Structure 1
Amino acid sequence: MNRKVVQGIVRTMIGLAGAALCANTAQAATYIYVSNADSQDISVFRMDESNGALAAVETVAVGGMVMPMTFSPDHRRLYASLRSQPYRVVSFAVNPLDGRLAELGRAPLAESMAYLSTDATGRYLLSASYGGNQLAVNRIGADGVAGEVQQTIKTGPMAHAIRVSADNRYAFASVLGSDVWLRLRFDAATGQLTEDAAPAYALPWKSGPRHFVFSADGRFVYLIDELDGKLHVLAFDRTRDTVKPIQTISILPADFRGDKPWGADLHLTPDGRFLYASERTSSTLAAYRVNGTTGRLERIGTYATQKQPRGFNIDPSGRYLFAVGQLSPTMSVYRIDAETGALHETGQYPVGKGANWVEVVSYAGSNE
């Protein structure tokens, strides 16, 4: 079956699903996607909205070391990076009725990409290469399928993440080996990036900046280090797209005994009240309360999780957190206490080998 026929079927499927959801809001659903690098597949689950329990939907073989994933802004497409040769991005259509994935196409990536994101329009796929020391932009077609590489930009060693600001005027990128956070002007009409002469923020030597998130109101940036066990809070000037540091806090448990810290991922709850960070050496999640006025963090607690937790995520309601470990065959689900931000484990579920990335999406009938 050729690509045009597949896309036609998928468009029909999505259209029918959307119509069904419009007609019946009771079909609102949340789906969890876990990329498993070593088993070369994606695990798909559906969440019970009443208690956070998961039911397995399907396991999708991708034929490569699948790692970072990202959704399109409209959540109709899921993009997955293959970090084994040939380096590719796989574009999937998501069926909102059952969460199943339908592959739409594959396109080359500039290198082995450790991070994927899209711009605010969904027309461009941005990526960062840890091994290739570069950032790249791929076009995304009107059908939501990622296409050719249109630009690459060399960075210092170990580029690790790239995301656009809320207004889509700039992209920011963390470069672990250079200890810098870059600012790049983004032209939304052409998808072109232009790097500033100086980094937006220079971090301490051998801190190893890795992932970062913007607060929902755009006033703060939270940036986790890989190498020194630290998390930085930066005040973000939305007019000038510049930052200044306001706090640095540890992600390590009080009884940390490892040879070296190994920070990984961080996520805010959608309401911005709580932030969580994963640390791989101790296999823990650190939880923080966020001061909505100052952006500063207050430690809530430390929670044991799956072994070597490279990735985790939070559902759009902010009620549940899903964590996987690269050296664990299971995913933990935690209920987030709405008052305190404390985590309470509610279950564990089998995933593939080398689980490393989690994406979560919710479809509400009234919004379709």
Structure 2
Amino acid sequence: MSQHNKARQYVYVSNAKDGTIVRYLLDDHHRKLVFLGRTPAGDNVMPLAVSPDKSHLYAAIRSEPFRVVSYRIDSASGDLLVEGTASLPVSMANIDTDKSGRFLLAASYGGDLISVSPMNEQGVVMADAQQVLPSGRNAHAIHTSPDNHFVFSTSLGDDEIRQYRFDEQSGHLTPNTPAAVKTEQYAGPRHFVFSKNGQYVYVLGELSGTVTTYALDAKTGLLTLKGVSEGVPAKALSLENGVPPFMTADNDHPKIWTADMHVSVDSRFLYLSERTTSAMVTLWIDPMTGLPSYQDITQVEQQPRGFALSVDGRFMVVSGEKDTNVGLYAVDIPSGALTKIDTAPVGIGANWVEIVAF
């Protein structure tokens, strides 16, 4: 039996409008998503995160009382068992753990802030946030650097990425110097990912459809602009880019509205979802420069809010906020091409996707 067939991979999808997390088995041998069940979570459950040791799934509830639920993942069945609930300062658009699995980071779009919450020795968030910091307008994502020494967060409303030093022992954040780097005006930085070698940070513009590439200095934790690449082919799709929510496109074209982004396991491709046209864009990353360029586009589920790649990189699961199914796609590793191979029923308002392998 090949190595990839030995792994048991579970897929978790949060459904904001019916307050559930749907569970699947990713059967890579039969190339199917096997529905396992629904776990009640709470109204407007959205961002998910997985602990570094894969023992826990965390779900942020974006309805009052704002909170995070810690679930123990049963590695034999994929079932989720509630082990703790802790309050969050406000509604959080994004959550993640630090690399040690001792702290939960959160970013609030509406509250314009980020927070750090402690976990106990079992990996459960049990206490209120120990630190809350202003983030600039519309914080949308927060992650530690690969070495766990620094933290970055996006400010969609201010077109910038905030930079912090991170004390992994105490969990304390301190603004770096400078405290932020800019993107282009009205890019609307949303999600971001690191290259597998940790040299680059790719930032997705929700409003522009561009990918801004920064070089990451591992010693200082500072970002340096390297280039801006077209991600979503606006003209080909008759979309208008760089139009903020308070403005209307001059030509009445629909606006670009990207959502999620992930890098392939070999760091050769970037994938980003575009909600207006329900598309997945594939970008090729130049191994010499680290800069991405447009390669292909694939129609996917309606209004794709979230997606995830399997641990081996051979599959992608896509959720659509307005779709009744999630899609399973085969990923051709050499070319990065996507082929739809299965669908499975999902809840209402599907958004975040996580895949955990044991």
TM-score by length of 2: 0.92
- 1: CA distance between counterparts of 2:6 and 2:124? 26
1:141 pairs with 115, 120, 133, which one? 120
Are 2:83 and 1:104 aligned? yes
Matches within 5 A, 1:305-320: 305-320=300-315
Is the partner of 1:33 in helix, strand or coil? strand
What residue number does 2:150 align with?
Answer: 170
Report what 2:343 is aligned to.
348
Query: How far apart are residue 87 of structure 1 and its match?
Result: 0.3
Matched, 1:85 2:80: no
Residue deviations 1:142-189, cap 9 Å, x none? 011102211100121101111001111110000111111011111111
**What do residues 108-148 of structure 1 show as CA deviations (whole Å, max 9, x unaligned)?**
01110000001111000000000110000110100111022
Aligned to 1:360: 355
* Higher share in helix: 1
Partner Cα separation in structure 2 for residue 293 and residue 205 of structure 1: 28
Match of 2:49 in 1: 70
Structure 2 unmatched runs, 5+: 240-252
* CA distance in structure 1 between the partners assigned to 2:321 and 2:179 by the alignment: 32
Residue in 2 that maps onto 1:336 = 331
Which residue number corresponds to residue 181 of structure 1?
161
Q: Matches of residues 1-368 of structure 1 in structure 2 within 5 Å?
A: 28-148=7-127, 149-196=129-176, 198-253=178-233, 254-257=236-239, 258-363=253-358
Shift of 1:345: 0.5
Q: Distance in 2 between matches of 1:240 and 1:26?
A: 41
CA–CA separation in structure 2 for the residues paired with 1:342 and 1:199: 38
Tell me the amino acid that sits aligned with residue 286 of structure 1.
V
Asked if the contact 1:70–1:116 (Cα under 8 Å) also holds between the matched residues in 2, the reply is yes
2:231/2:294 contact within 8 Å kept: no
Identity over aligned pairs, percent: 38
For residues 191 and 183 of structure 1, what CA distance do their matches in structure 2 show?
15
Q: 1:197 deviation in Å?
A: 5.2
| C-alpha distance in 2 between matches for 1:232 and 1:338 | 24
Contact 2:105 2:143 in 1 (8 A): yes
Contact 1:210 1:225 (C-alpha < 8 Å) held by counterparts: yes
> 2 CA distance for matches of 1:239 and 1:136?
24
Q: Which runs of 5+ in 1 are unaligned?
A: 1-24, 364-368
Report the Cα offset of residue 26 of structure 1: 7.3
Q: Tell me, in whole angstroms, the C-alpha distance in 1 between the residues paired with 2:112 and 2:160.
A: 13
TM score, norm. by length of structure 1: 0.89
SS in 2 for 1:178: coil
Q: Quick one: which amino acid aligns to residue 345 of structure 1?
A: K
Which residue type is aligned with residue 272 of structure 2?
A: A
SS of the residue corresponding to residue 178 of structure 2 reads coil
Checking the alignment, whether the CA contact within 8 Å between 1:306 and 1:332 is kept in structure 2 is: yes
- The whole-number CA distance in structure 2 between the counterparts of 1:100 and 1:110 is 28
Q: Which residue in the other structure is 1:10 paired with?
A: none
Q: CA deviation at 1:245?
A: 2.3
**Letter of the 1:189 counterpart:** Q
The whole-number CA distance in structure 2 between the counterparts of 1:353 and 1:173 is: 29
**In the alignment, is the contact (CA less than 8 A) between 1:300 and 1:341 conserved in 2?**
no
CA RMSD in angstroms comes to 1.4
Counterpart Cα distance in 1 of 2:74 and 2:265: 23
Residues 197 and 26 of structure 1, relative CA distance in 2, 3 Å threshold: closer
Note the alpha carbon deviations across 1:33-91, whole angstroms, 9 max, x for none: 00000010000000112243110111001132100000011010000000000001000
Q: Report how far residue 193 of structure 1 moved.
A: 0.7
Contact preservation (8 Å) 1:118, 1:126: yes
- After the TM superposition, which segments of 4 or more aligned residues of structure 1 sit over 4 Å from their partners? none
2:245 corresponds to which residue? none
Moved more, 61-70 or 245-254: 245-254
